[in-house]
Amino acid sequence: MSEKKDINILEHVLVPKHEILSPEEAVEVLRKLGVSPKNLPWISVDDPAAKAIGAKPGDIIRIIRKSPTAGVSVAYRYVVVDVSRKEASVE
């Protein structure tokens, strides 16, 4: 019964705007923040939103969130190949 529907998760209310930075922009952002890419929060390449915008490992994604305190807030995430997929099973 599940018909074909065009679903673009980027339009879901929970998903803020994601955009890939061009290399020039990325350098500029890192310089402004004074950090190296790995100091930014990460996003995995197989993250559904990262996939949807076609991000590749090493890219920096700009995330424009609606914030209840600041109106609009901008965050950055560094696209990584997921290495931290540890299954939390140890008690």
Partner 1 sequence: MEAVKQITSIEELKNYIEKLRGRVSDNIIEELEKKLVEVYEKSGLYVEEVEAIIGEVLRRYESSLVEPGEPVGTVAAQSLGEPSTQMTLRVFHYAGVREFNVTLGLPRLIEIVDARKRPETPIMEIYLEDDYKHDEEKAKEVARRIESTLVENVAESISISPFEGVVIRLDPSMLEDKGVGIKDVVDVLEELKLGDIEVDEENYTIRIRLPEELMDYSKMEKIRQKVASARIKGVKGIKKVIIQKRGDEYVLIAEGSNLSEVMRVKGVDWRRVYTNDIMEVERTLGIEAARAAIIKEIKSILDDQGLDVDIRHIMLLADVMTWTGRVRQVGRMGVAGEKPSVLARAAFEMTVQRLIEAAASGEVDELSGIPENIIIGQIIPIGTGMVELYATPSTARPKGGEG
Shortest distance, CB of residue 29 to partner 1, whole angstroms? 17
Please, which of residues 67-86 interact with partner 1 by CB under 8 A?
67-72, 77, 80, 82, 84-86
Distances (CA, A) of 63 to 19, 84, 90: 7, 22, 33
CB of 14 or CB of 34, closer to partner 1 = 14
The reply to whether 65 sits near partner 1 by the rule CB under 8 A is yes
The reply to whether 44 sits near partner 1 by the rule CB under 8 A is yes
Dist CA 79 CA 47 (whole Å): 9
Dist CA 47 CA 35 (whole Å): 23
The closest alpha carbon to 30, from 73, 67, 72, 62, belongs to: 62
Residues near partner 1 (CB under 8 A) = 1-3, 5, 7, 9, 11-16, 18, 41-44, 47-50, 52, 63, 65, 67-72, 77, 80, 82, 84-86, 88, 90
